[in-house]
Amino acid sequence: MSRLEAKKPSLCKSEPLTSERVRDTLSVLKGIVTSCYGPSGRLKQLHNGLGGCVSTTSHSSALLANLSVTHPILKILTTSVQNHVSCFSDCGLFTAILCCNLIEKVQRTGLIPTTVIKLNKHLLSLCTSYLKTEACGCRIPVDFSSTQILLCLVRSILTSKPACMLTRKEIDHISTLILTAFLLTIPENAEDHIVLGKSIIVPLKGQRVIDSTVLPGILIEMSEVQLMKILPIKKSDSLKVALFCASLSGDLSDTGEGTVVIGYGVSLENAVLDQLLNLGRQLVSDHVDLVMCQKVIHPSLKQFLSMHRIIAIDRVGVALMEPLSTVTGTQPIGSLGSISPSSYGSVKDLCTAKFGFKHFFHLIPNETTVCSLLLCNRNDTAWDELKLTCETALHVLQLTIKEPLVLLGGGCTETHLAAYIRHKTFNEPESLPKDDGYTQTELQLITEAFCSALESIAGSLEHDGGEILTDMKYGHVWSVQADSPSVVNWPDFLSRCGCGLCNSQEELNWSFLRSTQHPFAPQTCLPHGAVGSANNLTLDCFTAKLSGLQVAVETANLILDLSYVIEDKN
């Protein structure tokens, strides 16, 4: 007998942003992301409180994946940041902080959402179009003939994650490795469009970071027993390869529901094994030298193959399948039936290698655009963080090759942009498109909110109680110890700006970032061509930051626009 239960009515809340609870949770979230930001950001210990593994991180993707948020507004925020991170890897914290800041600052103006949204969009397009123009004062074109800028970019990413626990020397070492790994993924014969290869990160925990290395080709971990069973490899130009994605373990394929009844004396296992051995015979007659399988190969089949001097490598894992198939030119074989000759591929050479306590097969393909980055770090949590950071760096390099530009880091881009927008709305209102949707006052109010949201990101880099200044020429960030006397000779206290491009010896005017800013037209700090000599710059990925800016403003607009939250309580 079924029982009917009356449905509960849906719960409808109006103006969710005005609720005290929403504001509180939003400020907790903002506190978490803000405190993680930058090279001196604070770390978070993530664990389940029941003895599960502990990860120490300040990485947005690790953080957001583990935050289980309940409120729909927070969910919108975290989801859009996660989406951004999954596409661009970098600038996740930037996006989250900017979004939180914007919501907070804009709400204080007390303007109606429609106006706010319209103005936000307007200011955003002002930013993006400025960033995309040649005249933009906070971007640097990347010169691929030298590694300097690229190394700075990678180094900036590595230093921004203190949980990797790297020393200066180790940062240099890893930066070089990442850049090498990236360069190895670029095909030598570039045609119309380049298809980049892949860098595979191979874990080697417990070793010293300095022991990390990059190898062209693919490393497949194996046990020592397997190593012993490998016969001396035939010397020839190349090895013929078959790659299986189907399991060759000899188990029955899914028999579905119900019972299979078999007669006495019939062994299904033997039947499957016979089929496997037939497959083996075909491989032998096709003169295959190397068989690789994503899953398990039946020991008897392995024995059979080894008797015929075929090397069998099993349990390769799903992650390696795609790169293996690419470098060997094989079609992964999915059935135990006959194999079409077109499925086979080849590799140049195969050897074995030992790193730390681990043994590896080292597959050297004919044309290498795949490489293995053997990554070491002392403890698990630092290794995990380092892996995430290296992945980010590799991705950022890929984005940079597509759009060969970098932005100034260390907060300088944010303050420079803020200065630019302020200048545009206050000093050159006539250059802006006229719209009757808002008044000049409203425009100025929102501009102030928008700019201070941007500027407080630069301020978020400071975690030890210092003060942030900005100069009135370039609009860069400068940091100074707290409670420094207000009337001082600033150059004595300051050394370099946040990105490292300007130094304090120049005649500049400074003001506290928290004080009221006077609009001025920010200039570009780059004496073009001299960039090459500056070797210790902090840089950010152009594409990722631009997207982060857009995502943050659009998400903030979406959240500001919410007037009802309707929850289905059933």
Footprint (CB under 8 A) of other proteins, residues 311-330: 314-315
Q: Which of residues 102-161 bind other proteins (CB under 8 A)?
A: 159
Q: Beta strands 218-222 and 358-364: pairing type?
A: antiparallel
Stretch that binds other proteins, among 122-130, 174-182, 246-254, 284-292 (CB under 8 A): 246-254
String marking each residue 165-194 x if it binds other proteins according to CB under 8 A: x-xxx-x-----------------------
Tokens linked to 225: 């027993």
Residue type for position 76: I
Q: Cα 432–435–437 angle (5° rounding)?
A: 135
The single-letter code of the amino acid at 449 is A
* Of 289 and 385, CB closest to other proteins: 385
Cross-strand pairs, 384: none
Distance set, CA 457 to CA 15, 38, 468 (Å): 27, 10, 11
Nearer to other proteins, 12 or 262 (CB): 262
Kindly state the smallest distance separating residue 403's Cβ from other proteins, in Å.
26
Mark the segment that binds other proteins (CB under 8 A) among 123-131, 162-170, 442-450, 540-548.
162-170
Query: According to CB under 8 A, which one of 509, 536, 563, 566 is a site residue for other proteins?
Result: 536
Nearest distance from C-beta of residue 42 to other proteins, angstroms: 4
Count of residues touching other proteins (by CB under 8 A) = 96
Interior angle at CA 399, CA 393 and CA 400, nearest 5? 85
Please select the residue that binds other proteins; options are 33, 34, 37, 56, rule is CB under 8 A. Answer: 56
Q: Which range binds other proteins by CB under 8 A, 27-35, 389-397, 525-533, 546-554?
A: 27-35
Q: Is 26 exposed, middle or buried (0-12, 13-18, 19+ CB in 10 A)?
A: buried
Q: Are β-strands 198-205 and 239-244 bridged in parallel, bridged antiparallel, or unpaired?
A: unpaired
Q: How far is the CB of 164 from other proteins (least distance, A)?
A: 10
Asked whether position 529 contacts other proteins by CB under 8 A, the answer is no
For residue 466, what are its two tokens? 């210092």
> In the structure encoding, which two tokens stand for residue 465, read together?
């109680």
- Using CB under 8 A as the binding rule, the residues of this chain from 473 to 492 that contact other proteins are 478-481
> Contact between 229 and other proteins (CB under 8 A)?
yes
* 401 binds other proteins per the rule CB under 8 A: no
**398 Cβ neighbours under 8 A, 6+ residues apart:** 182, 196
Q: Position 405: which residue type?
A: L
Site for other proteins (CB under 8 A): which residue of 10, 11, 14, 54?
54
251 vs 322, beta carbon nearer other proteins: 251
Cα–Cα distance measured from residue 332 to residue 293, given in angstroms and rounded to the nearest whole number? 9
Asked if 548 interacts with other proteins (CB under 8 A), we say no
Minimal distance in Å, beta carbon 258 to other proteins? 7
Instruction: Please select the residue that binds other proteins; options are 410, 475, 522, 548, rule is CB under 8 A.
Output: 410
As to burial, measured by CB atoms within 10 angstroms (0-12 exposed, 13-18 middle, 19+ buried), residue 273 is middle
Region from 42-50, 341-349, 444-452, 554-562 binding other proteins, contact rule CB under 8 A: 42-50
C-alpha span between 305 and 520 (Å, rounded): 76
Contact criterion met (CB below 8 Å) for 169 and 190: no
CA dihedral for 524, 525, 529, 535, sign (positive or negative): negative
- Closer Cβ to other proteins, 4 or 261, answer by number: 261
Using rule CB under 8 A, residue 203 touches other proteins:
no
Q: Please give the helix or strand (H or E) that residue 430 lies within, else none.
A: none
Q: Is 354 in the site for other proteins (CB under 8 A)?
A: no
Q: Residue 192 has which token pair?
A: 């119309």
Q: How far is the CB of 450 from other proteins (least distance, A)?
A: 26
* Between 130 and 361, CB nearer to other proteins: 361
Should residue 352 be labelled a site residue for other proteins when binding is judged by CB under 8 A?
Answer: no
